[in-house]
């Protein structure tokens, strides 16, 4: 009994042992290895998230440093205390007026 596919080019290609080794290697590296493609995708996403967090916190640090510079002035300290903590002088009265459906959030 003669093999009908022996002369076909795809059979010659698939019967090559180097092709089998290459296919095994590709499958192993893609799915099974500790450093597989899918693990790298997950790790790259985590790295990107951490870099985004780092840039956010650097921006927050920059804003806080700017606020610290402004608060070195005594007038700015007084303004901040009045706006944030509703502080007043002894001879003043403060009235806080809130409207229904006010869109400003309290902090």
48-98 confidence digits (pLDDT tens): 999 999 999 999 999 999 989 988 988 888 888 888 887 888 888 877 777
Q: What is the percentage of the chain residues whose pLDDT exceeds 70?
A: 94
pTM above 0.75, yes or no: no
Pair 87, 81: CB distance under 8 Å: yes
Q: Which residue has the tokens 């610290």?
A: 68
Q: What is the pLDDT of residue 107?
A: 57
> Distances in Å between the alpha carbon of 76 and those of 5, 63, 70, 71?
88, 15, 6, 5
How far is 7 from 19, CA to CA, in rounded Å? 18
Cβ within 8 Å of residue 35, ≥6 positions away: 29
Q: What is the pLDDT of residue 47?
A: 98
Pair 77, 71: CB distance under 8 Å: yes
């Amino acid at each position: 009994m003669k093999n009908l596919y022996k002369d076909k080019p795809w059979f010659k290609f698939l019967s090559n042992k180097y092709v089998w080794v290459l296919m095994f290697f590709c499958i192993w590296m893609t799915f099974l290895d500790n450093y597989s493609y899918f693990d790298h995708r997950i790790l790259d996403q985590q790295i990107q998230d951490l870099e985004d967090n780092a840039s956010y916190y650097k921006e927050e640090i920059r804003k806080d440093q700017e606020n610290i510079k402004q608060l070195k002035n005594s007038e700015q300290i007084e303004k901040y205390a009045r706006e944030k903590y509703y502080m007043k002088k002894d001879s003043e009265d403060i009235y806080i007026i809130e409207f229904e459906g006010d869109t400003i959030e309290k902090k």
